[in-house]
Amino acid sequence: MLEVLCTQGLPEGWRFWARAHYLSPFREGEAGFTAKKGREMTLEKDSKVADVRGHRVPTGLFIDGEWLRTGQEIPVINPSDKSEITKVADGSGGHALEALAAADRSAQQWRHWAPRARADLFHLAHGLLIERADAFADVMTMESGKPRAEALGEFNLSAGFFLWYAEQVAHLHGRYQEGSPGGYRVIETHQPVGPSFLVTPWNFPMLMSARKAGAALAAGCTVVIKSARETPLTAALFIDTLQEAGFPAGVVNLIHTSNSAEVSEQIMADSRLKKVSFTGSSAVGTVLLKQASNLIINSSMELGGDGPFIVLDDADVDLAVREAVICKFRNAGQACVAANRIILHESIAEEFTEKFLAATAALKVGDGFDPEVSVGPIITERQLNRVSGLVESFQSAGGTLLAGGNVIDGEGFFFEPTVFRFDSYDHDFCNDELFAPIAALYTVTTVDEALRFANDTHYGLSAYVFSKDLSRVVTVAERLDFGMVGVNRGIMSDPKAPFGGIKESGLGREAGHEGIYEFLEPKYIALTIDERSGMEG
C-alpha cells in the first residue's frame, strides 16, 4: 500500500526514483529489519480479534510489525454495565523490552525517511482513521463509558491532531547564520531524540495516543506505546490503522499490561530508551522522573490539574454556566483540565449558582449509547468508591451539599453530578485533583482575592476566567500561574496550541510546533568558511 501511495500517478522514471528514495530503507534484507529473524521469539503470533459492536479489534501486543500473544490476558470491562467486552494480551517488563528492541532496530531507518515520504504516510493514515470514525467512537464508548457524542468528538479532535502533524513533517526548520567573530557559520538543525516510551491514560485514550504518537513519529522517532489497562482497545484500533497505512515494522509498538510499574521500571532502566512522554497523575509522574534521572532520559510530563474557574462581576453569566457545565462534567469530571474550583464574584454568585444547579439537574446519567445521556459512568468500582469518599471529605470540611452526592443504583459505576458550596477556603482541596463529577463553588469579593485563591495550589495546568472586559481578562489571565488559560470558554484543546502546565502539573508541551520539537534535539554545527576561496578570477 505504501508503494502505491508513493508512486501512483508518476511516470515510470519518477516511480523508480520514488521507490529508491522513499521505500528502499525498509526493503526486505536491509540492515535493521532482518534482526528479528535471527532472535528467539518468546511470543507467539496472535490472530485473535475482538468483535466490538461489529468492529474487529486486535487483542494482542504489537511488536515489530506483528500482533502477538503472551499466554496471559487482561479482561476489558464496560463500566456502564460491568460486563466483559473481551480480553487482551497481558504484557510484562520483558515484553516491553522486546518492543523497545524493535523500536531501537528501526530507529535509524525511520529517522532518515524523506520528510515528504513520512508526510505522505501520515496523510494515508489520516484517511484511514476518518474511515473508521464510527469504530473508534463505539470502542471508546464501550470501554471508557463516555457518551458516544463525546467519544466521536474526541475522535474528531484526535484526527485533527494527526492531520496537523502530517502537515508539519516537511516544515521543521533550523537556522543558518554567520558566526559572531566571522570566519565560520552557525548551523542549527534538529535530530530525532530516538526510541520513545509513550504512556497514555484511560480518560482520553484516542486523543493521547494520536497526540503523543503523532508528534513522535512526525519528528522521526520510533515508539513503544503503553495503553491504559482500562482502555486498551482504542489504542489497539489506532495501531491497527497505522499498520494498515504502511508504517514499517518496529516503528510503532504497543504494550498492554496489568503491571504498569514493572513495565515502566524495566524499560526506563534500558539505555536504548531516549525519551518518555507520560500523561497521568503527578504522583506517578514523579516516580517516572526519578527513574528517568538515572540515565538522564528526555522527559515530558502532562500531570494533574486543579482548574480554577473564575467568573467576574461583569461576566455573561449564562455563557459562564454553559461552559462550566461542560468543563466540569465532561467525561464525568474525569479530566485533568476539569473545573475543580468555581470561583464566583459575590455580585453574580447567587444568579450563577441558581442557573448552574438547574443545568446540572438537567444532565442525564447513563449508558453512553443512549443519545440523551450526557454523563457516563466512573471508570472503575475503585474510582467510584473514591468519589463517594470525596463527598464525605467535602462535608467534613464544611461544604454544603446543593445537589447530588450519591451513587446511582444499577449495573454500572454511576454517580450523580454533584455540587457543593463552600463559605470559606481554608482546606486542602485546591491541592487535590478531584477527577470526579463534583463541582465546588466559592464566593470572593474582589479580583485580587480571586487571583490569590486561584493561584494557591501546587498545580498549574489550566485555569479559566470569564468577563466582558477585554483588558480585564487579559490582565487576569497574565497573572494566573497556569500553563493554559481559557477566556470565556471551558474547552481549549487545539492542534495548533501548546498543551501543558507548570509547577506540579508537568514539564514540556504537547501539540503545536512545540509538541514536535519535544521529540527533537537541537544540533549545532560550526562550519569553518574560507571567505576568500572561490573568489579569485
Dihedral of alpha carbons 512, 518, 519, 520, sign: positive
Nearest to 436 by CA among 413, 453, 466: 413
Query: DSSP alpha helices (H): ranges in 223-281?
Result: 232-245, 260-268
SS3 call for 404? coil
Whether 28 is catalytic: no
Q: What are phi and psi of 144, to 5 degrees?
A: -105, -20
What one-character-per-residue DSSP string does 139-202 give?
HHHHHH---HHHHHHHHHHHHHHHHHHHHHGGG---EEEE-TTSSEEEEEEEEE--SEEEE--S
Distance separating alpha carbons of residues 267 and 260, to the nearest angstrom: 11
In contact, 296 and 494? CB cutoff 8 Å: no
The grid coordinates listed for 79 are 463500566
* β-bridge pairing 196-199 and 184-192: unpaired
Q: 462-481: b or e for each residue (b if 16 or more CB lie within 10 Å)?
A: bbbbbbeeeeebeebbeebe
Distance separating alpha carbons of residues 315 and 450, to the nearest angstrom: 14
Distance separating alpha carbons of residues 495 and 423, to the nearest angstrom: 39
SS3 call for 373? coil
Which value, to the nearest 10 degrees, does the dihedral of the CA atoms of residues 158, 162, 164, 170 take? 170
Residues 477, 496, 253: CA angle, nearest 5 degrees:
120
Which listed residue (143, 150, 302, 433) is catalytic? 302
Whether 336 is catalytic: yes
Instruction: Please report how many Cα atoms fall inside a 13 Å half-sphere around the Cα of residue 32, on the Cβ side.
Output: 18
Residues in Cβ contact with 268 at an 8 Å cutoff, skipping those fewer than 6 apart:
197, 276, 288, 291, 292, 294, 295, 297
Residues 273, 261, 49: CA angle, nearest 5 degrees:
85
What one-character-per-residue DSSP string does 78-130 give?
-TTT--EEEEEE---HHHHHHHHHHHHHHHHHHHTS-HHHHHHHHHHHHHHHH
Cα 535 to Cα 179, 183, 233, distances in angstroms: 20, 15, 64
Which residue is it, cell 504516510?
121
Which listed residue (6, 327, 336, 430) is catalytic? 336
Nearest to 231 by CA among 66, 418, 407, 380: 380
Catalytic residues: 302, 336
